[in-house]
Structure 1
Amino acid sequence: MTAPPAAPVRRVGFYAGTFDPVTTGHLDVIERGARLVDRLVIGVARNPRKNPLMPVEERIACVEDALPAIRSRTGAEIVVVAFHSLLVEAVRANGAALIIRGLRALSDFDYEIQMSSMNRKLDSGIETVFLMASERTQFISSSLVKEIASYGGDISELVTPATRERLLARLAARQGATPTL
C-alpha cells in the first residue's frame, strides 16, 4: 500500500507597511515578492503613531487598485489586509512564515536588521527576506511623495494614477483647497 501524496507546501509571505501612500517602490517589492511565494499577504498597518494622511481603508483601496496588473504578470495569489498588532502576530494570523521587506539604502538596513532580529526572537519560525529596491525606485519614499505633492510637484511617476488622485484630494482637504489633478 502506498502512502497518499503529500499536500503541496504553500509558501505564504507577508509584506507589511503603512503604505501612506503606496508608491511604485512598494509595488516593485510586491511584484518581486509575489514571485517568491504562492500567496502574498499585503499587511496595511494601522499605526496611529505614524499619523497617516489617509485612513487605512483608503490605503487598502490604493494597494488593491494596483494589484490586477501585478497578479496577471506573476500569477500569484495576493491579498490585502489591515492589521493592528505586532508584525509576527499578523504574520501568524495570516498563515505566513516569511516576512518580505524592501531595502532602499544602508540606513534602511540598520533599522531592518534590528527589526528582523527582534521578530526572530519573538517567533523563531518566521524568516525575513530582504529585497533590494530596484535602481528606478530606490529613492522613493512615501514621506517624500507626500512632501512633493504638498508643494504641487509632479508625483505621477512615483504612484499610480488612482493613488495620485486620492493623495491630492486628501492634501487639498487638509489644506482646505481643491485638488489639482
Structure 2
Amino acid sequence: MTTAFYPGSFDPLTNGHLDVLIQALNVAERVVVGIGINPGKTPMFSFDERADLIRQSLAEVLPKRRDALDVVAFEGLVINAARAHAAKLLIRGLRDGTDLDYEMQMAGMNAQMAPDIQTVFLPSGVASRPITATLVRQIAAMGGDVRAFVPAAVLDALTKKLNR
C-alpha cells in the first residue's frame, strides 16, 4: 500500500489544503496528514480541533475515503515523521511560482537526507491559489467573510471560536 505524508500546520484547514489532500488520495492509497507542532507558536486551534476539522472536511467531500486518512502530530524533520509512518511520498501543495522556488529547495534537501522518500508537488485549484491559513485567520478575526476559503466545518469552528 502506498502511503503519502502531507505535512503542514493546517491552522485552519483551507479549501486549498483540502484540494491538495483530495489529489493526494488520488495518488496514494493512504494519506497521513502531519500537523506540525511548534512549541514557539500558539495556534488558533488545538491539535485535536485541527485533526477533527480535517477528518470532518474530508468526510463531507469523500466519505468513502475517510478510512484512508490518518491525522498525526509531529515535531522535528518532516522526513523523520514521514518515515515513522512508512510513507514513500511526501506531498507538497503549490499555489504559485514563489511556492515552487521554496519547495524545490526543500525537496532537494529532503532528497539528500531521505532518498527513499519521493516529493510530489500538487497544484492547488485556481480558486484556492490566493488562500493562506494566515490570511483566513486575519480576515475572520476582523469580521470578514471567509466562507469562500474554508470548508463548512472550518467556517463553523471559526465562527464559534471568534464569537466567544
What TM-score do you get using the length of structure 2 for normalisation? 0.92
- 1:53 lines up with 2:44 in the alignment: yes
Q: What is the aligned counterpart of 1:107 among 98, 111, 114?
A: 98
- 1:118 lines up with 2:109 in the alignment: yes
Question: 1: distance between equivalents of 2:73 and 2:141?
Answer: 26
Question: 2: distance between equivalents of 1:77 and 1:39?
Answer: 5
Q: How does 1:135-150 map to 2 (within 5 A)?
A: 135-150=126-141
Question: 2: distance between equivalents of 1:37 and 1:164?
Answer: 28
Q: Kindly indicate whether structure 1 or structure 2 has the higher relative contact order, using CA contacts under 8 Å at least 6 residues apart.
A: 2
Compute the displacement of 1:162 (Å): 2.1
Compute the displacement of 1:84 (Å): 1.4
Moved more, 75-84 or 131-140: 75-84
More helix by share: 2
Q: Which structure 1 residue ranges, 5 or more long, are not aligned?
A: 1-9, 173-177
Question: 2: distance between equivalents of 1:142 and 1:136?
Answer: 15
Change (3 A) 1:112 1:51: farther
- 1:85 lines up with 2:79 in the alignment: no
- 1:40 lines up with 2:31 in the alignment: yes
Work out which of the two has the higher radius of gyration on C-alpha atoms and give 1 or 2: 1
> Corresponding residue for 1:11?
2
Question: 2: distance between equivalents of 1:120 and 1:132?
Answer: 20
Q: Deviations over 1:85-134 (max 9, x none)?
A: 21001100101010011000111111111111111111111110101111
Question: 2: distance between equivalents of 1:156 and 1:40?
Answer: 26
> Corresponding residue for 2:143?
152
Q: What is the aligned counterpart of 2:121 among 117, 130, 135?
A: 130
Compute the displacement of 1:73 (Å): 6.0
Question: 2: distance between equivalents of 1:35 and 1:74?
Answer: 10
Q: Secondary structure at the match of 1:48?
A: coil
Aligned length: 164
Question: 2: distance between equivalents of 1:167 and 1:57?
Answer: 15
Identity %: 37
Change (3 A) 1:120 1:140: same
Change (3 A) 1:50 1:128: farther
Question: 1: distance between equivalents of 2:49 and 2:66?
Answer: 25
Q: What is the aligned counterpart of 1:24 among 15, 22, 36?
A: 15
